Amino acid sequence: LKPDSGIVKCTKVSERSFAQKKDAAGVGFFHRHQFDDSVKISPPPPPVPIPSWDKVVELSLTAPRRHFRPLSRLLGCDIQDMLSWEIGFLSQSQLQDAGTSCSEYGAWTFPMRDHEGTVVGIRLRSPSGFKYAIRGSRNGLFYQPRNLQPGMPVLVVDGATDAFVG
């Protein structure tokens, strides 16, 4: 959308377009539009502050044990092993406080780490299997830094639950 030029690109409506262009994003139809003062373009929402990842991890580890049992059964591991990997659980309201929506009663948390072991984000998995991350997370690696030893071979796997070996 370019209000200053009066040109709008639409991906669906071809009727009355003055041009059509296909690019990597697909087909776009260009329309001329006369903007007046009644059309207000809202500014983007302010960025959500990035939570302290270490505090989020600590909070997720305080969840009642009953929230860990379904994932423990699914992974075939002991809850204490999950906690040693800092796999936790956040309730729906805790996730909303962190700026992330959740349509279920909560989600399991998997810390994503950088190469130095610093948590850079939190991957979430809901009980229904939906996978997403807390807003502001950066993609990282799933590993338990305390288990790494110099010269030790490292097996690279696909995701959070694959990385966990109870």
Q: Is the pLDDT of residue 29 over 80?
A: no
- Provide the phi-psi class of 113: left if phi over 0, else alpha when psi is between -120 and 50, else beta: beta
**pLDDT band, residue 1 (cuts 50/70/90):** very low
Spatial CB neighbours of 92, under 8 Å, sequence gap ≥ 6: 102, 104, 105, 106
Decide which of 6 and 78 is more confident.
Answer: 78
Cβ neighbours of 67 (radius 10 Å): 19
**Confidence (pTM):** 0.67
- What is the distance between the alpha carbons of residues 87 and 16, in angstroms, rounded to a whole number? 54
Determine the pLDDT at residue 63: 95
Determine the pLDDT at residue 38: 60
Q: Is the pLDDT of residue 41 over 70?
A: no
Model pLDDT for residues 108-165, shown as the tens digit of each residue: 999 999 988 899 999 999 999 899 999 889 999 888 877 778 888 877 777 777 766 6
**pLDDT band, residue 34 (cuts 50/70/90):** low
Q: What is the mean pLDDT of the chain?
A: 82
Taking residues 94-112, what's their average pLDDT? 90
